[in-house]
Structure 1
Amino acid sequence: MPSARELMDLTRKAIASLLRAVSLQEQVTLICQEIERIAPDIIAFILRADEQGALRPLAGSGLSARQIQALEGLAIDSLYGIADDALAVGTEDAAQPGLHDLGVSHGAKRFWAAPVRSGDGRVLAMLAIQPQQTATLTALHRRLIDTCLPLCALALEREESRTRIDRLAFYDELTGLPNRRLLQVRAEQAIARAQRDRSPLAVLVIDLDRFKRINHALGQPGGDELLRLVARRLEEGRRFCDIVAHLSADEFALVVPYCDAEQAAASARCLLAALSRPCRIADVPLGLSACLGISLFPGDGQDIDTLIHRADMAMQRAKACGLGRFCFFSEELKRSAVELSLEEALRVAIERNQLRLHYQPQVYFKDGRLRGVEALARWHHPQLGDISPARFVVLAEQCGLIDELGRWVLHEACRQLADWRHRGLAIPAISVNLSPSNFHDADLPATIARTLAQHGIRPAELMLEITESVLMDTNPSFLKILREVHAQGVLLSMDDFGTGFSSLSHLHRLPVQELKLDRSFVFDLEHDGASRTLSDAVLHLGESLRLSVVAEGVETEAQRRILVQLGYQVGQGYLFSAPLPPAELEAWLAARPGQAKRLADALIPD
C-alpha cells in the first residue's frame, strides 16, 4: 500500500508542476512517472480525448510502438461502457464487449482505464494502468488512480483554459481565422524568411462589396453566416504556407509567401471567382462579390503593417473602379500616402513651431537703400529634408491648415522684427503673406491688433500681402474684415499682380497701398516686348491709383536697368539677395556700405 506521505508527495509534485506553468505533456508525464515510482510493477499511461471523442496517447513511456499504434484513435466507449466510473478491464479474451487487446507479443494482458472527467462531467482523457505481475486490480492500484484522477483533470482543464484564452487572444471568434494580432506574428516570420531567401511575398486585403446592405437586409445572424462562408472559401484554396486572417468587419487578409506580381494577380482572380460563387444565406440566394488590393514585399514595404496598409489603399482604389475588382499598390498611391503623412507632419510642425522664416530684402533701385523685408515660410522635414513652399503651402490650403500657417507666420514675423529692433537693427518694415481664407476669419483684425501690441510693432510697419484671387471674392464679410484691418493702419499689398483677375472694377474696392509686379513679367523683360509693355501698364495703373509698385523676381542687372528705365523705384529678387535666415540677413545688412546710416532714415516705408 502506498503511504499517505507518498501520495502527498505525488500530489505536491503535480501541483508544483502546475504552478511552474510547465507544458501539459510534462505535467501528465510526471504523474505517470510518480505512479510507476510508487508501484514499480505497473505501467501507467494517459489517453486524451480529442474533439471527436477519439483517444490519442498523451503520456506513458512504458508502451511499445505497437501498443501506441493499437491505442491511437480508439473511441472512448471501446474502453468502458458502464454508466458509473468503474474501471474498465482489458483481458486475454479480446472478443468480450468493452475490452481491448493491447497486443503484446506473448499474449494479451489486462489493463484498467478510468475516465478523467472535467467539472461539468465531460470525459477529457483515460488514465490507464497495466499491472505486470498480477491479473487483478489491487487496493494499491485503486488508491493511486483515485489520487491521480483529479490531478490529471486539473492539468487538462488548465490546458483547456489556456487554449481557450489563446483562441480569444489570437483567433477571431466568429470565423475561427487568425486575428490581426496572430497575423502580425506569423506574417513577420514569413517576411523574415522571404528576406533571408530573397523570395517574393504578397499581401492581399479583401473587402466584401455591399456587405453593410446585406447585413442590414439579413440581420446580424445572416451577416455572421456570410462572414463564416467567406472565411471557409478563403481557406479552401490556400497553401500550407499561406496565412489567412480576419482583420475587421468584412475585411480579410492573406499573406502569400513565394508569390510575385504575376502569381499575385492569378491568386486574386481565383479568390474573386471563388467568392463570387452563388450561395444561400438565411435561405436567401445571394450573389457575392469583393474587391481586393495587393502589395508586394519588398518593393511596397518591409514590414507587415506597411504592407497591409498599402494593400488596403490598393483595395480602396479597386472599389472606386467598381465591384469585383483588384488593384496593385502603385507609385501614384504611394504619393498619396506620402501626402497624407506630410499633412500630419505639417500639422505637427505648425503646432510645435518647427517651421522657420527666411527674409528677402526689398531695396530702392536708386541707392540700394533697404525698404523692408518679406517673410517667407520654410520647412525642413527631419526625413525628407527641405520641402518646397510651393508644395507645403498648397498642402496647407488643401487640408485646412492655411489659416493656422498664416497666423503662425504673422506672429513669428512680428516677433522677429521686435527682436531686431531691440538689438538696434532698424529693419524699416516687414511683409507677411496671408491666404484669402485668412480674411474670412472674423477674429483676424483682433488677432493682428493683439500681435502688434504684444511685440510693440506699429501698424504701418506691417504689410499684409494678398493675391489677386481676392478680387473675385464677393462675400461681404471678406471686404468688411479687409477694411477693419486697414483701419488699424496696417498696409495691404496685392501680390503677383497682372497674372490673375486684374480688373479696375474690382481693384478700386480694395483698400490696398501696393501692387507687386509678378515675376513672370520681369523674367521676360529682356526678350519680350509684350512683357515690357505690360510691366509699364502695371506701373502706370499703380501710379494712377496712387499705389506703390514693387517688381518681384529681379535676377539680372539687365532686368534692373529696364525696370529703372520704365520708372520702377523698388525691387526684390536674387540680384539683391536670396531669402535669408535672420542671422544671415543681419550679416548681409552689415556688409552693405553705409547701410547702418541709411537704416536710421528708413523706419517707415514709402
Structure 2
Amino acid sequence: MPSAHELMVLTQKVLASLLSTASLAEQATLICQEIECIAPDAMASILRVDQQGALRPLAGQVQGLEGLALDSLCGNADDAVLADTAGATQECLHDTGVAPCAKRFWAAPVRSGDGRVLAMLVIQPQEAAMPSALHRSLIDACVPFCALALEREESRTRIERLTFHDDLTGLPNRRLLQARAGQAIAKAQRDRSPLAVLVVDLDRFQRINHSLGQPGGDELLRLVARRLGEGRRFCDIVAHLSADEFALVLPGCDAEQAAASARCLLMALGKPCRIAGVPFGLSACLGISLFPGDGLDVDTLVHRADMAMQRAKTCGLGRFCFFSEELQRSALELSLEEDLRIAIERNQLRLHYQPQVCFSDGRLRGVEALARWSHPRLGDISPARFVVLAEQCGLIDALGRWVLREACRQLADWRRRGLAVPAISINLSPSNFHDPGLPATIAHMLAQHGLRPGELMLEITESVLMDTTPAFLKILREVHELGVLLSMDDFGTGFSSLSHLHRLPVQELKLDRSFVFDLEHDGASRTLSDAVLHLGESLQLSVVAEGIETEAQRRILMQLGYQVGQGYLFSAPLPSAELESWLASRSA
C-alpha cells in the first residue's frame, strides 16, 4: 500500500494541476508519472473512449491496447479488473487477492457523474509479473482524479462549443467564423491568393417557418446546413450567422470559381426534399464578395456579401450577385438618410450665418442662416449633398422646420443680449409651401420668441414660378399676410417668367452668384446683372447680389446701382459665436 505521505504528495500535485491552465494531456501525464514514481516497477496509462467505444491513448506507456473495444476489456464492471492485452480473460476483484487466471494489468473504468465511461486507467507491471495489491490501491486512489480531469475537459469543450457553435445546426457561429476567416484572410494575404465570401439567405423562410411550425423550420435549417457542407474542402468554412442566413469562406477562390460555387450551391439547395413529412421545394439567394478587392477584413467582406445578397433578392428567387461599388454607394446613401433623420430629430445640425452688407456705409442689413452638418464618422457633409438627400427621402419639410425653429431661437437670443442683427433670412424648399400648416407654424415661432414678422425673411427658389396651383399660392399669400418677407433666391437661372413673377408677393430678388462670378471679364454678365436690378426696381423690389468675392466685383455692382450684397469678400458663413466676434470687430 502507498504511504500516507506518498498519497498526500500525489494529491497535492494532481489538484494543483487541475486548478492550473494545464491541458488534459498534461494532467493525465502527471497522474501516470506520479503512479510510476510510487510504484517504479509499473507502467501507467490513461486511454480515452472514442465515439465508437474504442480506446485511444491519452497518456502513459502501456502498449497494445489502442483500438481495443471498451466492452471487451471491462464489460459493465464498475470496479477494477485484471485482464490481458487481448481482453480474453477478465475477473472483477473486490479484494486484494490475485485470481489464478489473472493476467498482465489492472484496468479501471473512469466514469462521469452520470455513469458514462470516459476512459480507462491501466497499470501494468514492467516485467512478466502479476499486478500487485499496490497497483490496485493506486488505481483506487487515482481514478477520481482522472474523472475530475476528464469532466473538467468535457465542461470546457461544452462551453467552448456553446460559445463558438450554433446549437441547432452544429455549424460555427459568427464569432468562430470571424476567428477562422481572419486566419484564412491572413494566409491569403501572405500567399497573395484570392478568397471569396458567400452569404446565403433562404427565400420566404418566414412564411415557411409559419406554415411548418418551429420544429419544421429547425429541420429545414439542419438540412440546409448539411447541403452547404457537402463536398466542402478542409480549408472551407461554413457558418450559421442568424435565422436563415449562412456564410461560406472559400480560400483560393477567384470570381469565376466563386460564381461556379454559387451555382452549385443554389442547385444543391434547390433539390426536392421532405420537411415534417411534406414535399418541399427550397430556393435561396446568395451574395459574393472577394478578397482583397471588396475588403481586407472579415466584417467588411461579410457585410458586402450580405449587401450583394440583398440585391440578388430584388432580382427574384434563386439568384446570386457580386458586390459592386454601386451597391456601396446605395448603401451609403441609405445609411446617410437614416443618419440625417436622426440628426434632425436630435438637433445635431447647426446653423452658420453669412452677413448681408450695405455697400454705402458697410452696416449690417441682415444675415442668411445656412444649415451645416458635421457627421460623427464622415465629418462635414456638404449642404449640396444633404439638402438634396433630404428632398429625395422626404426629410426636406422636417429640415425646413428645424431651420425655422433654430433661426428664430438664435435671433431672439441676439435680441435679448442687445446684438444688432436687424433680420434673418432662411431658405425653405418649395415643398415646405405645400404644407397647409406652414403659416401657423411660422406665427407660433414668431410669438414664442417675441419676434416681429418683418425680422424674418423666407428665401424660396426661382423654381416656384412654375408652380401655379391654387393651394400653393394660397399658402404663400397667408405667409405674406403675417408680415413675413419673401425673397426670390438664385434669380435669373432659368425659370424667370414676368407673367408669373408679378403674382407672387415677394419683396426681394437675389442675383445669382453665377452672374457675379463673371462680372470682371464678361460683358453679358454685367448686362444681365443690370437687367435684374432694373427689373427689381420696376417691381419695387430690393435686389441683393450674392457670391461677392473680390473688391472689383463689389465696385462693378455699386456702379450698376446695387446697394446690398453678401459673399466671402465680407465674411464666410460663421457659427453664431464667430459672427458675434465679427460684429464686435466691425463696431470697434
* Candidates 320, 326, 335, aligned match of 1:332: 326
Classify the secondary structure of the residue corresponding to 2:57.
strand
Q: Counterpart in 1 of 2:445?
A: 448
Find the residue that maps to 2:74 and give its secondary structure.
coil
User: Would you say 1:359 and 2:340 are equivalent positions?
Assistant: no
Structure 2 residue runs of 5 or longer lacking an equivalent are 92-101
Provide the C-alpha distance between the structure 1 equivalents of 2:297 and 2:337, rounded to a whole number of angstroms: 23
C-alpha distance in 2, partners of 1:95/1:39?
24
Q: Does the 8 Å CA contact 1:472/1:506 hold for their aligned counterparts?
A: no
Q: Is the 8 A contact 2:351 2:407 kept in 1?
A: no
Are 1:220 and 2:217 counterparts? Answer: no
How far did residue 466 of structure 1 move?
Answer: 3.1
Could you tell me which of 120, 126, 129 is aligned with 2:120? 126
Partner Cα distance (1:575, 1:35) in 2: 90
Matched residue type, 1:253: A
**Which residue number in structure 1 is paired with residue 98 of structure 2?**
none
Q: 1:324 to 1:475 in 2, by over 3 A?
A: farther
Displacement of 1:222 = 1.8
Distance 1:161 1:473, change over 3 A: farther
Q: Deviations over 1:255-288 (max 9, x none)?
A: 2223332332232222222222222222323232
Equivalence for 2:17: 17
Q: 1:200 to 1:433 in 2, by over 3 A?
A: same
Distance 1:20 1:574 in 2: 73
Distance in 1 separating the partners of 2:443 and 2:145: 79
In the alignment, the residues of structure 2 paired with residue 507 and residue 77 of structure 1 have an alpha-carbon distance, to the nearest angstrom, of: 105
- Partners in 2 of 1:260 and 1:411 — Cα distance? 55
CA distance in 1, matches of 2:584, 2:117: 94
The 3-state SS of whatever aligns with 1:220 is: helix
Matched, 1:180 2:174: yes
Tell me which of 574, 578, 581 is aligned to 1:581: 574
Any idea what SS the aligned residue of 1:302 has?
A: coil
Q: What are the equivalent positions in structure 2 for 1:159-308 lying under 5 Å apart?
A: 159-308=153-302
The aligned runs of 1:1-12 (5 Å cut-off) are: 1-12=1-12
Distance apart, 1:421 and its partner CA: 7.2
Matched, 1:87 2:80: yes
Q: Which residue of 2 aligns with 1:461?
A: 455
Per-residue deviation at 1:537?
Answer: 11
The alignment partner of 2:22 has SS state of coil
Quick one: distance in 1 between partners of 2:56 and 2:236?
28
Alignment partner of 2:233: what SS?
coil
Question: Distance in 2 between the 1:6 and 1:507 partners?
Answer: 111
Change (3 A) 1:77 1:500: farther
Q: Structure 2 CA distance, aligned partners of 1:296 and 1:578? A: 49
The answer to whether the aligner puts 1:74 opposite 2:71 as a matched pair is no
Tell me which of 145, 151, 166 is aligned to 2:139.
145
Q: Secondary structure at 2:232's aligned position in 1? A: coil
How many residue pairs align between the two structures?
A: 567
Unaligned runs of 5+ in 1: 100-107, 598-606
Mark the CA change 1:560 to 1:204 in structure 2 (over 3 Å): closer, same or farther.
Answer: farther
1:346-495 paired onto structure 2 within 5 Å: 346=340, 351=346, 353=348, 355=350, 357-361=352-356, 363=358, 371-379=365-373, 384=378, 386-399=380-393, 401-402=395-396, 405-406=399-400, 409-410=403-404, 413=407, 426-436=420-430, 440=435, 444-445=441-442, 448-449=445-446, 452-453=449-450, 458-467=452-461, 468-469=463-464, 472=467, 489-495=483-489
Contact 2:428–2:459 (8 Å) recurs in 1: yes
Q: Residue type matched to 1:445 in 2?
A: I
Give the Cα separation in 2 of the matches to 1:139 and 1:243: 53
Worse-superposed segment, 400-409 or 156-165: 400-409
Q: Deviations over 1:309-354 (max 9, x none)?
A: 1111111011111122111211111212333444455567664756
Alpha-carbon distance in structure 2 between the residues aligned to 1:238 and 1:306: 23
Distance, in Å, in 2 between the alignment partners of 1:303 and 1:355 is 35
The residue aligned with 1:39 is: 39
Aligned to 1:315: 309
CA displacement 1:391-410 (0-9 Å, x = unmatched)? 01122344555455445544
Change (3 A) 1:384 1:87: closer
AA matched with 2:235: C
Instruction: Provide the C-alpha distance between the structure 2 equivalents of 1:535 and 1:379, rounded to a whole number of angstroms.
Output: 36
Partners of 2:21 and 2:553 in 1: CA distance: 86
Q: Distance in 2 between matches of 1:45 and 1:483?
A: 98
Give the CA deviation at 1:435: 3.6
Partner of 1:104: none
Partner of 1:105: none
1:539 aligns with 2:535: yes
What amino acid maps onto 2:442 in structure 1? Answer: P
Secondary structure, counterpart of 1:205 in structure 2: strand
Q: Contact 2:408–2:446 (CA<8 Å) still a contact in 1?
A: no
CA distance in 1, matches of 2:337, 2:506: 33
TM-score, length basis structure 1: 0.79
Q: Do the aligned partners of residues 155 and 382 (structure 1) sit closer, same or farther apart at CA in structure 2, a change above 3 Å counting?
A: closer
What secondary structure, in the 3-state scheme, does the structure 2 residue paired with 1:71 have?
coil
> Per the alignment, in what secondary structure is the counterpart of residue 125 of structure 1?
strand
**2:465 touches 2:501 (CA, 8 Å); kept in 1?**
no
- 3-state SS of the aligned residue for 1:154? helix
Return the letter of the residue paired with 1:434. L
1:30 aligned residue? 30
Match in the other structure for 2:94: none
Give runs of aligned pairs for residues 54-65 of structure 1, distance below 5 A.
54-60=54-60, 62-63=61-62
The alpha-carbon distance between structure 1 residues 564 and 325, as it changes in their structure 2 partners (threshold 3 A), is farther
SS at match of 1:464: strand
Query: Which secondary structure does the structure 2 equivalent of 1:581 belong to?
Result: coil
CA separation in 1, counterparts of 2:412 and 2:557?
36
Deviates more, 1:263-272 or 1:379-388: 379-388
Matches within 5 A, 1:94-105: 94=86, 96=88
TM-aligned CA deviation for residue 196 of structure 1: 3.3
Q: Is the 8 A contact 1:521 1:534 kept in 2?
A: no
Letter in 2 for 1:357: H
**Counterpart-to-counterpart distance in 2, 1:324 and 1:255:** 20
Distance (whole Å) between structure 1 residues aligned to residue 389 and residue 220 of structure 2: 42
> Quick one: distance in 2 between partners of 1:536 and 1:481?
26
- TM-aligned CA deviation for residue 218 of structure 1: 1.9
Partner Cα distance (1:383, 1:121) in 2: 58
